Structure 1
């Protein structure tokens, strides 16, 4: 089980590398990696287990965040209106955003990251709608269309696979400035 000490922190070079494409059939190690990443997310969102193990709650975890430079990310996205409901629970292998809307969205409170210990204020502009191509556990190509919060989470995780951190996208001179037509998710 991953604990906070297992999370790779900002400054580690693995977070700035482009992750290697995963090959099929999946290795035993990559299957375990996927299981372990999802287990962290499930445990971190459980108030009892999160407190017991000192876990920061997460909605996504990419392999580089646990020191593995492979193109795999797990997401566990709760519904913002009904937190007991899950909007998206899956592991994306070799995900690529193949299309995105011009409509911009951002989280009103900004984004956070398990690999970044300090708060970094500012809007992180993201596409409101995206289409992702990814491989499932059998190596079959799949397509996923997302919008709003789940789209933001997946863009954040795919950024990790390409060597970017969320704060790279914040306007450095005016962190709280964003397009007037942007959808702000509170």
Structure 2
């Protein structure tokens, strides 16, 4: 009869020693650890821009009620500054945002640059064509081009839907809300 061998003791894990106090950390590693400060700086700059623009706005003295045209931009600018400060404090105290989990996005896949370039081209093209063609025609091209860039290939249905959406948006903004949009040569016919 053999006796079971005694279990071998597991080696003890060595504790990780922090860097010596005199060891300098590189600026690059500090910035990598605190990269979310970039968002805080962006929010700070945006808040300063909004507040500067709001406070230098020329407004008629006659205003009805306590809320004038400067109120909302000032509140938004102050809110941006507060959020920037709170985010910076959180990051400097060691807070970190959660990593992107991407519910239905495969983060290992490269970006679809073809779609991005098509959408950019359609957007810039509609911006250039809005003055000579008018909003209804340029808007229809924008809606149809965006649908095509995002994968729809229904040439029997998409142009019709784009035209209806564009005309509805034109009627809503130009006729009902009083926001002047260029009608173009087609609006003279209709």
Normalised-by-shorter TM-score class: under 0.3
Greater Rg over alpha carbons, structure: 2
Q: Which one has more relative contact order, counting CA pairs under 8 Å at least 6 apart?
A: 1
Q: TM-score, normalised by structure 1?
A: 0.21
Structure whose residues are more often helix by fraction: 2
